[in-house]
Amino acid sequence: MAEWKTDQARVQEELGHLTPKQRRSILWGMRRNPSGWTGMQM
């Protein structure tokens, strides 16, 4: 998540094809506790 603030150009290059809604979904997923993630979420 810190990369979105410190390396915005790289994030844009990697995720630029996603819609804002898809990027928000990724952010919310990253905020969750990883110990509760399923195999598909990793």
What confidence tens digit (pLDDT) does each residue in 11-40 have? 778 777 888 888 888 878 777 777 777 777
Q: Which residues of 5-35 are buried (b: 16+ CB within 10 A; e: fewer)?
A: eeeeeeeeeeeeeeeeeeeeeeeeeeeeeee
Residue 2: the pLDDT is: 67
Residue 1: the pLDDT is: 58
Residue 4: the pLDDT is: 64
